[in-house]
Structure 1
Amino acid sequence: MKAKTAQRHEIVVLGAGYAGLSALVQLAARTRKRGNLRVTLVNPYDTFTERLRLHMTATGQETAEMNIPELLEGTGAVFVRGWVTAVDARTRTVRVDDDRVLRYDTLVYGLGSIADTVAVPGVDDHAYTLDSPENAALFAARLACLDDGATVVVAGSGLTGVEAAAEIAERHPGLEVVLLGRHEPGADMHPRAKAYLDAALARLGVRVRARVEVAKVLPDSVELGDGSGIPAAAVLWTSGTRVSPLAAAAGLSVDERGRVVTDSALRSVSHPDVYAVGDAAAIRQGYGVMHGTCQGGMPTGVHAALSILRVLAGKEPKPFRFGFYHTPVSLGRNDAVVQFTRPDTSPRPLVLTGKRAAKYKETVTSAPWPTFSRMKKMPAMGAFWPHGGRYTRIRSAK
C-alpha cells in the first residue's frame, strides 16, 4: 500500500513592496527544491514600484522599470496579478479581484500604506498623490501644462513633501512652489541638518508655510484652518497615510491605525499563521513601534521569511530586532542632506550634505533590485542592508 502524499504547504505573500518582495524572494530562494511547498505572490502590478523615486516620476523623469515575473524566473514562485479584495482568516483564503480564491497555510501580509485622502474634504477629488507610478505620472502631466507663475501646493512637510517640493522647484523653476505643513520641514533633524535643508529650499525658491492646517482642497485653491486660502493650480498631497482595511475586516488584531499587531517574530498576535511586514504591521521594538520606511521594511520581510522556515522546520522563530541608521533626503538631483540617527531615529550630530550626500542617497536607494537579485541566488544576502539599519543577523533555518 502506497504512503499517503503529504498535502502541499501553501505560502501566499500579499503585496510586492519593499517588505513583501523581500519576503517572497527569500522564501522562493530557500524552498525552490522543496516539492511539498509553494510560494505565491499577489500584486496588482507586474512591476516593482520604487516609492522612494516617485517624486522623480511626478516631475516627468524616467526611472528604471523592474519586472517582477522576470525576477522570479527559476525560483518556482507563482505570480498572480490582481487586487486583493478580501482575506478570510477563518478559512485561510484570499479573494483576488472578486472571483479568484487562493488557499493559504501561511500568509505574509504586506499590503502597505497609501496617502490618506479621506481625512480632509476635497483631497480625493482635487489633489494628486504619490501612491503609484500612474498617479505620479498624472501629476507630472499636470505640471507640464502649467504656465510660469502658477502656484503648486505640496501639502505635508514631512520628508516626502520636502523631496517633492524640491524636485518640482528644480525641474520647473517658473512655478511658485508652496510647502505646507503642521511642522517645520526637518523638525526632527539635528540643527545643522535642518539649517542646510532650510537653506536648500530657500535657494530653490520653495515658500514654506509651517504650523498650518489644511481644512479643504478646492478645484483651484487650498483653504486653511484659519479661514485663509492659497490659490493652487495643482495640489500634491503627502500629508498622512492610511492602511488597507482588509486586515481588520479579516478579524486580525490591529492597532488604532489598522496595522496588524505582531509578536516578536512578526506573527499576528491573533492569528499566528499570518505574518505582517512593512507598513502593514505594528512592530514594537525597545524604542517603540517602528514607522514605515523601506529602510525597515526590507528587514521585516526577510525576518518573516526566515521565521516561517524555522516554524516549518519545527523550530521556534527568533525575535526581530532592528534599529534605524540614517535619514537621507534629496533636495533635487545634485543636492541632499543625510541625517545619521540613533536606532530610534533620534538625530546624531553626524550629518552629510551637498553632492556627497546626493551620491550617498543615490547609492542606497538604487540598491533594492540588485539586492533582490542577489537574494534569489544567495539568500543569506538578506542580512545585508544597503538602505542602512542595524539588524540582528539570522542564520539559516536549517
Structure 2
Amino acid sequence: MKHRIIVLGAGYTGAVAAGRLARRLHADDVAITLVNAEPDFVERVRMHQLAAGQDLRPRPFSEMFAGTGVELRLAKVTGIDVDTRTVTVTDAHGAQELTYDSLVYALGSGWNTQGVPGTAEHAHDIAGRPGALRLRERLAGLDSGAPVVVVGGGLTGLEAATEIAEARPDLDVALAARGTLGDWLSPKGRAHVRKVCAGLGITVHENTAVTGVEADHVTTADGVSVPAAVTVWTTGFAVHPIAEATTLEVNGTGQIVVDGTMRSVSHPDVYAIGDAAMAMGPGDKPLRMSCASGTPSAWQAADSIAARLTGGKLPAMPLRYFNQCISLGRRDGLIQYVTADDRSVRAALTGRFAALYKELVCKGAAWGVVNPMLGMPTRGRRLTQDGSGTTQAVHESA
C-alpha cells in the first residue's frame, strides 16, 4: 500500500513542497495529493500590482504538475482530524474524507482586521486574489482627486501605497503608519522610502493608529477623521483557523508549533510550513510570515519527510534571512540587507536597480513553484514496509 501524503494549500509553500516530495520519493511507493480551492497558482507577492490594474500571467496547476505524479484536488479544506488522520474537503459534489499517512499543512494566512470596528465591512485587503480584484474594481471606479488611505506601514502597506500612487497619480493617496515611516529600516532605507513617497505625492500619517473605518473616512486614536473613499487594510496577517480547532499544539495566534524539520511537536505525522507554522530561526526568534520564510520551510519539510521515509539523513539547512525586498512602484525599490535574524544593517540598494532586483526575486519565486521538479534527481528513493510496518529505504533509483 502506498504511503499517502496530503498537502493542504497550493500557495508558494504548498506547491513547492508537493513538487519537491514528488521528486524525492518514488511514485510506486507514495501517493501525493495537493488540495487547493483554486485551479491556478496565485503570486501573492504581486497582489498590490493586480489591485493597481496590472494583469498577471495565469499559471494553471494542471500544467505545472502534469507528469509529476501529484494529484490535484480542487476543493476547500473544511475540517481536519489529526487523531484519526483524516481531512474533510468540500467541492461542488459535496464533502468527502481523505485519509493520510503524512500531512503537510500549508493553508497560509489571510488579512487581519485586528478587530478594528468597520474594517471587515468597509476596508479592502490584498492578502489574496479575491480581495485584490475587488480593490482593483473599486479603484477603477474612483474619480480624480478621490482619497485613498492605506493603513499599515509595513512591507505590504508600502508596496500598496506606492503602487497605487504610481498607477493613479490623479488620486489623493495617504499612508497611515502606527510608528514612524520605515522605522525598522536602515537610515539609508528610511530616507529613500521618504523620498519616494514624497515624489509620488503620498501623504504620510506617522505615529497614527486607526481605530475605526467608515465608508468615507477612517478615525484615528486621537479622534482625527481622515477622508477615505477607499481604505486598504494592510496591518498584518491572520492564519487559517482550522489548525486551532484540532488537537495540534498551536501558539496564541493559531500557528502550528514545529521543530527544526517543520514537524509538529505534538503530532509527528503532521508538518506545517509557511505562515501556518511557528518555527524558530536564528537568535531563537520566530520566523516572520513571508515568502522569504515560507519557501525554505517547504524545502525543509519535504526533505525531512523524504529522509524519514527512506532512512536518509535529515536536512540541516538553517532558516535565515539575507534581505528584505520592497517594490516602490514599477520603477523604484529598496533592497534592505539584514542579519540572519532579520535586523536591518547599514547596507541597502535603492532606485531602479533595486526595482529590477525585486522583480527578479518575484520571478524566481514563481519559477521555483512552476518548475518544482527541476534541479533534482530524475527519480526518487524507494521505500518499503517491513513486517512491523516501519518504512525503510531499499535503494536509490537510477
Please give the TM-score of this superposition, normalised by the length of structure 1.
0.91
Contact 1:118-1:124 at 8 Å conserved across structures? no
Q: Which residue is equivalent to 1:389? A: none
Q: Which segment is superposed worse, 76-85 or 92-101?
A: 92-101
Gapped regions of structure 2 (runs ≥ 5): 379-395
1:333-344 to 2 correspondence within 5 Å?
A: 333-344=330-341
1:367-386 to 2 correspondence within 5 Å?
A: 367-379=364-376
Shift of 1:25: 0.7
Contact 1:152-1:178 at 8 Å conserved across structures? yes
Corresponding residue SS for 2:372: helix
Gapped regions of structure 1 (runs ≥ 5): 1-6, 382-395
Partners of 1:374 and 1:77 lie apart in 2 by: 13
Distance 1:169 1:373, change over 3 A: closer
How high is the sequence identity, in percent, across the aligned residues?
39
Deviation per CA, 1:344-394, whole angstroms, max 9, x where unpaired?
Answer: 11112221111111111111111123223443133369xxxxxxxxxxxxx
Partners of 1:380 and 1:76 lie apart in 2 by: 15
Deviation per CA, 1:88-118, whole angstroms, max 9, x where unpaired?
Answer: 0011011112611111000000111111125
Corresponding residue SS for 1:99: strand
Shift of 1:132: 1.9
Q: What amino acid is the match of 1:247? A: A
Q: Which residue is equivalent to 2:85? A: 92
Runs of 4+ aligned residues of structure 1 deviating over 4 Å after TM superposition are: none
Contact 2:331-2:352 at 8 Å conserved across structures? yes
Q: What amino acid is the match of 1:159? A: L
Contact 1:130-1:136 at 8 Å conserved across structures? yes
Corresponding residue SS for 1:57: helix
Tell me how many residue pairs correspond in the alignment: 377
Q: Which residue is equivalent to 1:243? A: 239
Q: Which residue is equivalent to 2:346? A: 349
Q: Which residue is equivalent to 1:362? A: 359
Contact 2:6-2:103 at 8 Å conserved across structures? yes
Shift of 1:271: 0.3
Give the counterpart of 1:52 among 33, 45, 51.
45
Distance 1:131 1:397, change over 3 A: farther
Give the counterpart of 1:16 among 10, 25, 33.
10
Give the counterpart of 1:312 among 304, 309, 328.
309
Shift of 1:321: 1.5
Q: Which residue is equivalent to 2:287? A: 290
Shift of 1:36: 2.6
Q: What amino acid is the match of 1:365? A: C
Partners of 2:348 and 2:191 lie apart in 1 by: 11
Contact 1:261-1:268 at 8 Å conserved across structures? yes
Partners of 1:168 and 1:149 lie apart in 2 by: 13
Q: Which residue is equivalent to 2:325? A: 328
Corresponding residue SS for 1:153: strand
Contact 2:43-2:366 at 8 Å conserved across structures? no
Distance 1:380 1:117, change over 3 A: farther
Contact 1:84-1:95 at 8 Å conserved across structures? yes
Please give the TM-score of this superposition, normalised by the length of structure 2.
0.91
Aligned-CA RMSD value? 1.8
